[in-house]
Amino acid sequence: MTNFTAGYFTMTEQEAVEYAKGTLDFFAPDAELSCKEIGDGNLNYVFRIVDAHTDRSLIIKQAGPVARISDEFKLSPDRNRIEYDILRLQGELAPGFVPEVYHYDPVMNCTAMEDLSRFQILRTALGKHQSFPHFADHITTFLVNTLLSTSDLVLGHKEKKELVKQFTNPELCEITEDLVYTEPFFHCPRNDVFEGTRSFVEREVWADETLALETAKLKFNFLTNAQSLLHGDLHTGSIFVTEDETKVIDPEFAFYGPAGYDIGNVIANLIFAYENAKATDGTPEYQRFLLETIEQVVDQFKTKFTAAFRDQATEQVARYEGFLEDYLTGILQDTAAVVGLELCRRVIGIAKVKDLTDIADPERRTTAEINCLTLGKQLILNRRDYQTGDSFIAAIKKEDTP
């Protein structure tokens, strides 16, 4: 047997099987295990281990060598600890909506978790024009359960302060601060603008000082507002779906920030799917499903948040007449702003979404991207005006090419 306690090394498939047998209390002693590395080889190795007798399976996710990661991305292995801790917590707060985690090993830098092979990535599925009628219901439950329960509305203020400490995440936050809140809004060398869209960006985004000022205010809200424990990267590539189930994965960006950040990311990425659907001749029914989902995310979030608040709020001053309405108004305002930021940054910044880059026809891609930018600007500049699902849909439809 390999000695797994001596220190960190990158596992082979065979060593992952030995690790599962020797360290985890998951498979039966007579299990007949096979293993395949299925990661994309970027930052993590992802081993899928299956027992031929029972078909039970699990995933071991191991961080690549620290040296390599540090050199390239300056990311410490602490992100794996954060991911494990937050998956445990989210699993308690929103049972069934995150993969189950079985084990974390700070020496081997790996986490053993539920195998989600029967799921597909939501962004990929939406790219194939598949509908998920329960998605709005699922994701709003996840959002309300995680965002409300970790806020000062419900959690004791001392406990909350400990969670703020535990989930301090400087390196991953820096990525967001740079890529979402800063670089897209000026002529930064790291930006990556599609040729057809470039003149619009130069004219309507980089030359707009009013827009720049609003993004600066929003960046400081992101930097200072420790409202709720966020997933922090809740786009449709971080969501696994089947027809009946939704699982939120990859919470390594988790930290305490404005609740609207998570909600806004969900909505913006549904808008990308909608722009993709229009540009790739999705059926009117499919387009309608996407718009209805966006509307439901906003409205169901508000309804469920209100009900859960009434049920769970422990902070007495939060129960003063008018407080909840004011609090929700703030969340929705932040949500609209983040939708706008995400719409702009995925068009202009270095990190792209397939919904836009997969649009083969250059004119259609440009149209889709300019729609995103025009809508994004609107939402940032007039973020106080979007308090209902309706108002988001009206804004989205206004950009529909006739």
Q: Does 261 bind a second copy (CB under 8 A)?
A: no
Rounded to a whole number of angstroms, the minimum distance from the CB of residue 190 to a second copy is: 14
Residue 104 contacts by C-beta under 8 Å, 6 or more apart in sequence?
80, 81, 84, 110, 111, 112
> Which one-letter DSSP state was computed for residue 281?
T
Only one of the segments 8-16, 115-123, 223-231, 380-388 lies at the binding site for a second copy (rule: CB under 8 A); that segment is 223-231
Q: Does 209 bind a second copy (CB under 8 A)?
A: yes
Largest CA distance in the chain: 67
Binding residues for a second copy, rule CB under 8 A, total 40
According to CB under 8 A, which residues from 362 to 381 bind a second copy?
A: none
Whether residue 266 contacts residue 339, with contact meaning beta carbons closer than 8 Å, is answered with no
Q: Count of alpha carbons within 13 Å of 21, Cβ hemisphere only? A: 17
Q: Does 189 bind a second copy (CB under 8 A)?
A: no
Residue 130 contacts by C-beta under 8 Å, 6 or more apart in sequence?
none
Among 92, 174, 192, 281, binds a second copy (CB under 8 A): 174
Nearer to a second copy by C-beta: 3 or 316? 316
Separation between Cα atoms, residue 245 and residue 209, nearest integer Å:
44
Rounded to a whole number of angstroms, the minimum distance from the CB of residue 177 to a second copy is: 6
Separation between Cα atoms, residue 85 and residue 167, nearest integer Å:
9
Q: Does 316 bind a second copy (CB under 8 A)?
A: yes
Separation between Cα atoms, residue 28 and residue 52, nearest integer Å:
11
Q: Does 190 bind a second copy (CB under 8 A)?
A: no
Nearest to 268 by CA among 192, 172, 372: 372
C-alpha distance across the termini of the chain, in Å = 66
Only one of the segments 76-84, 94-102, 313-321, 393-401 lies at the binding site for a second copy (rule: CB under 8 A); that segment is 313-321
Q: Does 333 bind a second copy (CB under 8 A)?
A: no
Residue 216 contacts by C-beta under 8 Å, 6 or more apart in sequence?
none
Among 7, 25, 40, 165, binds a second copy (CB under 8 A): 165
Q: Which residue has the tokens 């309804």?
A: 303
Nearer to a second copy by C-beta: 181 or 272? 181
Among 21, 161, 198, 354, binds a second copy (CB under 8 A): 161
Q: Does 226 bind a second copy (CB under 8 A)?
A: yes
Q: Does 171 bind a second copy (CB under 8 A)?
A: yes
Separation between Cα atoms, residue 361 and residue 104, nearest integer Å:
46
Q: Does 322 bind a second copy (CB under 8 A)?
A: yes
Among 124, 168, 199, 314, binds a second copy (CB under 8 A): 168
Separation between Cα atoms, residue 6 and residue 13, nearest integer Å:
19
Q: Does 81 bind a second copy (CB under 8 A)?
A: no
Q: Does 207 bind a second copy (CB under 8 A)?
A: no
Among 28, 207, 216, 307, binds a second copy (CB under 8 A): 216
Separation between Cα atoms, residue 154 and residue 314, nearest integer Å:
5
Nearest to 366 by CA among 199, 222, 227: 199
Binding site for a second copy (CB under 8 A): 152, 157-158, 160-162, 164-165, 168-171, 173-174, 177, 181-182, 185, 209, 212-213, 215-217, 219-220, 223-227, 316-318, 320-323, 326-327
